[in-house]
Amino acid sequence: MRTTYHTLIVRIVLLAAGLGLLAGQAGAETTLEKIKRTGTVTVGTEAAFPPFEFVKDGKIVGYGSDILAEVVKELGVNVKQLDLPWQGILPGLLAGKFDFVATTVGINEERAKRYAYTAPIANGAPYLLKRKGDSLAKLDDLNGKVVATQLASSTEPIARGLDAKLKADGGAGYKELKLFTDFQGAYMALANGEVDAVVQSLPSLAVLVKERPDTFELMTAVPNQGGYDYLAWVTRPEDKDLRDVISGVIRKMQADGRLAKLQQKWFGFTMDIPASGYLPPGAQ
């Protein structure tokens, strides 16, 4: 009986150890391996950022959507694209709700510490938009004005930095900085006279002005204290192998001219995008 009891205990211990080893092996699967095993990649997108990503006839389309199609083709899998509010996308990535972010993410130092950026897909230099015919022309003209941008976007700290600069230069600074959940709300507020200017990336504003020349016009560039003007996608830091696959597709498209053709299609012009030097020191 004693021998049988001890033998049983040993078997239980060995079984538990074996189960633990299997669990460890299962937990070691990378996101890229999971994508290939399941045949599906799930991405998070804010489809309210034309011409990068937006909904037309019930489908997500745009510059980023066309790039995503090439990435999915390279992976050889199906895609499940989640249309989410911008404010939930980066937290949702870290929470594991999808595999990577396939929507434009401005490069800055704070994000570069928390996420793994792909190769850039566009130049996102910050710019100011105003109503057609308004007298605003230079940065100082924003003293005492209401300025808008998107909440938790890469342009929010840039807009705040400009307000601080105006005050440091002896001005009053903004009357108010209004933050919207998406840029469409900011544009509507500008058109209605609720705000005086909007801070946004130049490519998006250039297309908006081309589509609505009687309503909006470009004002002037905004100093970017962070010094990083490019837009990219991101993965979790531990998924650098997936990031590298995505970056490889983007670089192939840049080298063979496909990226330039998509830029011409969606923006009406092409952009110079660097192969290096687009990330802050110590980036993931």
Model pLDDT, residue 4: 53
Q: Compute CA distances 30 → 69, 90, 140, whole Å.
A: 22, 19, 50
* pLDDT exceeds 70 at position 1: no
pLDDT of res. 55: 97
Amino acid of residue 253: M
| Sign of the C-alpha dihedral computed for residues 235, 236, 240 and 241 taken in this order | negative
What domains does the chain contain, in order, with CATH numbers?
39-123+230-267 (3.40.190.10), 126-221 (3.40.190.10)
- Look at residue 11 in the predicted model and tell me its pLDDT: 54
Full-model pTM: 0.86
258-267 and 202-211 helices, crossing angle to 10°? 40
- pLDDT of residue 3 exceeding 50: no
Q: Which of 84, 72, 67, 83 is nearest to 41 (CA)?
A: 72
The predicted-structure confidence for 69-111, as pLDDT tens digits, reads as follows 999 999 999 999 999 999 999 999 999 999 999 999 999 999 9
Q: Which of 228, 239, 243 is nearest to 94 (CA)?
A: 239
Strands 126-131 and 197-201: antiparallel
